[in-house]
Amino acid sequence: MKEKNLLVKNARIIDPAGGLDESGDILVAGGKIIKTGKDIAAAGATVIEASGLIACPGFIDLHCHLRQPGYEDKETIATGAAAAARGGFTTVCCMPNTSPPLDNAATVGHVKDIAAREAPLITILPAGCITKGRAGRELTDMAELAAAGCIGFSDDGSPVSSARLMSLAMQYTASLDLPVIDHCEDLDLSRGGHMNDGWVAARLGLKGIPAAAEDTMVARDIALCQLTGARLHVTHISTKGSVELVRDAKRRGLGVTCDVTPHHLTLTEERVMVAQAGTGTALTYDTNARVNPPLRSSADIDALIQGIKDGTIDAIATDHAPHTMGDKLCEFENAAPGISGFETAFGTLMALVHTGRIDLNVLIACLTAGPARVLKSAAGTLQPGARADIALLDTGREWTVDVKDFLSKGRNTPFDGCKLKGMVVATISGGRFAYSYSRKIYNIKPVNEYLG
């Protein structure tokens, strides 16, 4: 099928990888970026008038859960990809804690087949398990998983508690030149805990998880990274201590990278506590604010933001973790941890820009060039020849989160009803529209056959 060329006109083009922040046009042909610049003319191209909008590379998410196979009541690859596109993401790395888990080539191949068939517009990159069945006892065949297309290894949802096994895993991942995507949690310290250890937990009578449960594991795995020469990617970093450890490891030249989630940057442990409906004064908890690692303190948020500013933190990753209503409509202790995060990521993060805490270019770098670097991927840029993955953003547009509008099956979010300022207007993947907001408001005409 001959595809029409696309011409994005008069956008503010921000491409951190290419060092670009200027107004101009982007010409797309054959699914690739042809050029960016001023007053590009292209006869016959579909023109997208983007004045007032930012055009940047499609976002890359290093950490999400698409739940298929096994948990299709929470999410499928198709619904997850649609939600990702709505969030501006064109590349997502899905974690292997499915059922069965992605601990062998056949299951990885199955996921890739479904992705190619049902979500062809989004690049879906699976991570493989570190241990068989994520049981923490026996390593998977990592070479086989790498050959099947895994972009890294993780037992996410669980840590690898045995230091000996983790060091062995890192020897293999080092030889494959793929990262370990590390869920850092010392289960001895976190056991029985459900939220951050602090005054809110005490007030609600919930057992806390100390920051040290994360810090000790980050410290251990940095030591193992030094021992083995592996690439260590600490995911969903949440504590001041972890940020300091990663900063120090980078200073020492180790191959350590890390990401932080939008919720750990924007919400504190206080969000767990809500007024009980009808009473006005009595306090209760909101299971939608239960995540692992837990929401931390404002001092942790300050350290995370400092980590983003000084380059200690490479990427912002959603840890999109959709669940059913039933998974959350229960006691806090029994609620499944996680937030359905694709569709609110950009809007919530923009609050940090509007309040002057993070520079817009730095934010976009953390969603594009930063994660691309972690993956050693050619995506995440608008330079000529790159795949035409483009997000169009309206940083000033206000909207109210309504979970009933979610494309994700997971409606579990503490942001429901929140007023956000900043919206993804359209997502173009490989030169085709994967998502567009209102054609009436933005006059953007989707040109692919999926949206009509």
Query: How buried is residue 407: exposed, middle or buried, by Cβ count under 10 Å (0-12/13-18/19+)?
Result: middle
Identity of the residue, 214 or 319, whose beta carbon is nearer to Zn ion in the bound complex: 319
**Number of residues in contact with Zn ion under rule CB under 5 A:** 3
Smallest distance from Zn ion to CB 410, Å: 13
Q: Does 156 bind Zn ion (CB under 5 A)?
A: yes
Identity of the residue, 183 or 409, whose beta carbon is nearer to Zn ion in the bound complex: 183
Please report, as a single letter, which amino acid is at residue 204: L
Smallest distance from Zn ion to CB 412, Å: 13
The window from 159-167, 258-266, 311-319, 428-436 that contacts Zn ion (CB under 5 A) reads: 311-319
Residues 53-92, one symbol each (x = binds Zn ion by CB under 5 A, - = not), give: ----------------------------------------
Smallest distance from Zn ion to CB 63, Å: 6
- The residue with tokens 């994520």 is 134
Smallest distance from Zn ion to CB 269, Å: 18
319 is catalytic: yes
Phi and psi torsions of 187, nearest 5°? -65, -25
Cα first-last separation, the chain: 16
How far from 327 is each of 14, 158, 239, 273, CA to CA, in Å? 39, 18, 26, 19
Nearest residue to Zn ion, scored by beta-carbon proximity: 183
The window from 156-164, 356-364, 366-374, 393-401 that contacts Zn ion (CB under 5 A) reads: 156-164
Identity of the residue, 75 or 319, whose beta carbon is nearer to Zn ion in the bound complex: 319
Q: Catalytic residue among 259, 300, 319, 394, which?
A: 319
Structure tokens at 449: 């056959």
Identity of the residue, 236 or 411, whose beta carbon is nearer to Zn ion in the bound complex: 236
Phi and psi torsions of 5, nearest 5°? -75, 155
The window from 76-84, 203-211, 314-322, 440-448 that contacts Zn ion (CB under 5 A) reads: 314-322
Residues 177-216, one symbol each (x = binds Zn ion by CB under 5 A, - = not), give: ------x---------------------------------
Within 8 A by CB and 6+ apart from 156, the residues are 63, 95, 96, 97, 127, 181, 183, 235
Smallest distance from Zn ion to CB 95, Å: 5
Region of residue 36 (phi > 0: left; psi between -120 and 50: alpha; otherwise: beta): beta
Q: Does 327 bind Zn ion (CB under 5 A)?
A: no
Contact 287, 335 (CB under 8 A): yes
Identity of the residue, 75 or 156, whose beta carbon is nearer to Zn ion in the bound complex: 156
Smallest distance from Zn ion to CB 195, Å: 15
Smallest distance from Zn ion to CB 74, Å: 13
Within 8 A by CB and 6+ apart from 251, the residues are none
Identity of the residue, 183 or 247, whose beta carbon is nearer to Zn ion in the bound complex: 183
Identity of the residue, 238 or 368, whose beta carbon is nearer to Zn ion in the bound complex: 238
Gap between the Cα atoms of 106 and 85, Å rounded: 27
Within 8 A by CB and 6+ apart from 409, the residues are 73, 74, 75, 76, 79, 322, 324
Residue of 264, 263, 262, 226 whose CA lies nearest to 242: 264
SS3 content of the chain, % helix, strand, coil (to 5): 35, 25, 40
The window from 47-55, 74-82, 149-157, 222-230 that contacts Zn ion (CB under 5 A) reads: 149-157
Tell me which of 319, 343, 389, 394 binds Zn ion, using CB under 5 A. 319
Q: Does 314 bind Zn ion (CB under 5 A)?
A: no
Identity of the residue, 183 or 194, whose beta carbon is nearer to Zn ion in the bound complex: 183
Contact 88, 61 (CB under 8 A): no
Smallest distance from Zn ion to CB 267, Å: 16
Within 8 A by CB and 6+ apart from 446, the residues are 426, 433, 436, 439, 452
Which are the catalytic amino acids?
319
Binding site for Zn ion (CB under 5 A): 156, 183, 319
